[in-house]
Amino acid sequence: MIYLLIDTSNQPLSVAIMDNDKILSEINNNEKVNHSVQLMPAIISAIEEANMTKNDIESIVVADGPGSYTGLRIGVTVAKTLAYALNASLYSVSSLAALAATVTQQDKLIVPIFDARREAVYAGVYSNDNDKFNIVMEDQYITIEDLLACLHSYGRPYVFVGNDTSKLAHLIDSDFIPNLPQAHVMKSLISTPVNIHEFVPNYLKISEAERNWLEKQNKS
């Protein structure tokens, strides 16, 4: 089975081509460039590097959120369009789980975080126990204060993961690993295909623009 894997959840971009569990090519980019400009060229480059054509792709895996509204919309739209055009199966994976899966250590809880501003984050808590990847806390929008209180309640050491950990270092209280997404890790996280026509990103929280619009509607 040939897989195309896409993660555009945030500023970093990652695209991979895999033959079952074998990585044929992977492109990782952390440049501050709109994904609408760089995603399709990255996909084309990854396909060419793998010595494949687009018609060889049988399944597509995309990070479905949480993360950047724009990034998620671009990644999911491209994934859905390609899956429909190529008659390929479509799978979705939590963006936070995908980030957590870049860490293999088993002695600590793994806490992937994305900065949500105002001392809040999108976060989940995961573990690698006996080489099994587990969800300890479901992905959610949460204040850093509440996240720390939750982590303390587990009574286990933990490590934060993600590109945003460095700028949040003054608010978190444990070691961190500033890993970038690696699209190939999503292959191990897929379960059942999603419905191409009904699938939408998992934003977890509406955008500020949408919230302001709803407030205006409620006042009218």
Nearest to 188 by CA among 128, 148, 144, 137: 128
Instruction: Check whether 8 has a pLDDT greater than 60.
Output: yes
Q: Tens digits of per-residue pLDDT, 12-64?
A: 999 999 999 999 999 999 988 889 999 999 999 999 999 999 999 999 999 99
pLDDT tier, 206 (very low <50, low <70, confident <90, very high otherwise): low
Q: Tens digits of per-residue pLDDT, 116-138?
A: 999 999 999 999 988 889 999 99
Per-residue model confidence (pLDDT) at position 208: 52
Cis omega before residue 66 (within 30°)?
A: yes
Per-residue model confidence (pLDDT) at position 41: 96
* Domain positions in the chain: 2-95+181-206, 103-177
- pLDDT averaged over every residue in the chain: 92
Q: Tens digits of per-residue pLDDT, 14-25?
A: 999 999 999 999
**DSSP secondary structure string for all residues of the chain:** -EEEEEE-SSS-EEEEEEETTEEEEEEEE--S--HHHHHHHHHHHHHHHTT--GGG--EEEEE--SS-HHHHHHHHHHHHHHHHHHT-EEEEE-HHHHHHTT---SSSEEEEEEE-STTEEEEEEEEEETTEEEEEEEEEEEEHHHHHHHHHHHTS-EEEESTTTTTTTTT--S-EE-PPP-GGGGGGG--SPPPTTT-----SS--HHHHHHHHHHHH-
Per-residue model confidence (pLDDT) at position 214: 39
Per-residue model confidence (pLDDT) at position 33: 80
pLDDT tier, 209 (very low <50, low <70, confident <90, very high otherwise): very low
Average pLDDT of 154-167?
Answer: 95
Per-residue model confidence (pLDDT) at position 204: 87
Q: Tens digits of per-residue pLDDT, 52-105?
A: 999 999 999 999 999 999 999 999 999 999 999 999 999 999 999 999 999 988
The top-level CATH class assigned to 2-95+181-206 is: alpha beta
Average pLDDT of 181-186?
Answer: 97
Q: pTM of the predicted model, to two decimals?
A: 0.91
Tell me the angle at which helices 35-49 and 69-86 cross, rounded to the nearest 10 degrees: 40
Average pLDDT of 135-164?
Answer: 96
Contact 72, 201 (CB under 8 A): yes
Per-residue model confidence (pLDDT) at position 213: 43
Specify the CATH architecture of the domain 103-177. Answer: 2-Layer Sandwich (3.30)
Average pLDDT of 190-212?
Answer: 80
Asked whether the domain spanning 103-177 has the same topology as the one spanning 2-95+181-206, the reply is yes
